[in-house]
Amino acid sequence: SQKGDTILSMHVTGKLSGTLATIQTAAQELKEEYRIFPFDSGAGSAAVGFMCREARLLDRAGKTPEQILKRLEKIRSRLTVIFTLDTLEFAYLSGRINAFQSALSSLLKVKPIVILKDGLLEMADRVRTRQKALEQVLQTVRERIGNRPANVAIVHAADPQAARQMLERIRNLLNIKESIITDLSIPVAANLGPGTIGIVAYPVDEEEEE
């Protein structure tokens, strides 16, 4: 980069990572040399990937940083990020949930469902079997997206077969514009545990794609 350059940096939700705060501080220190726009994705994983691609396409189309940020904010507000964990053990060890929730879920042999809300992971529900958990994840996304065209990512921790099956299932439920399968990042996978599988999705307005 050169002095005077404009930089848009995309980051994992600031509520789960300290990187954003560091970049915001750096942006202030370097404001005389660069125009830096740190953006809190409010999520992570595939959501950041979708946003980075969108920002690049808008930049190539000649949009200003302010226009790009406005579009990214709209995507962020529409995001659905939902997971089912095979166990709460890893989330408990990472400090993401308390001991009571972990013990209760282990005792009942239930499968937790976690949703990203306002940049934080929240326990949405617990169901008795893996199959029911997967069904609830699919139906939750279906209810939120409806029939609108959507971009969808299936994210997983060491379970590519389940991810492929999930993608086939959701193709029958949603009007998918683009879809990908991707691994969860190592830090997220370590916190949620192997066998975690989820969906990242957001509706796409046709006029925005023109």
- Tens of pLDDT, residue by residue over 118-160, are 988 888 888 989 999 999 999 999 999 999 999 999 999 999 9
Whether 1 maps to a domain, the answer reads no
Same-domain pairing of 16 and 60: yes
Domain count, the chain: 2
pLDDT band at 15 (very low <50, low <70, confident <90, very high): confident
**Of the residues 48, 77, 106, the one at which a domain ends:** 77
**Which CATH number is 148's domain given?**
3.30.1180.10
One domain, residues 156 and 175:
yes
pTM attached to this predicted model: 0.90
107 in any annotated domain: yes
How confident is the model at residue 27, as a pLDDT?
Answer: 95
Residue 99 lies in a domain: yes
90 and 24 share one domain: no
- How much of the chain exceeds pLDDT 70, in percent? 91
Asked if residue 194 and residue 117 are part of one domain, the reply reads yes
- Domain ranges, residue 132: 80-209
Structure tokens at 179: 């879809």
In this structure, the answer to whether residues 165 and 84 fall within a common structural domain is yes
Cα 80 from Cα 144, distance rounded (Å): 8
> How confident is the model over 60-88, as a mean pLDDT?
95
The pLDDT tens digits of the residues spanning 149-194 come to: 999 999 999 999 999 999 999 999 999 999 999 999 888 888 888 9
Sign of torsion over alpha carbons 47, 79, 138, 88: positive
More confident residue, 187 or 207: 187
- Distance separating alpha carbons of residues 70 and 26, to the nearest angstrom: 22
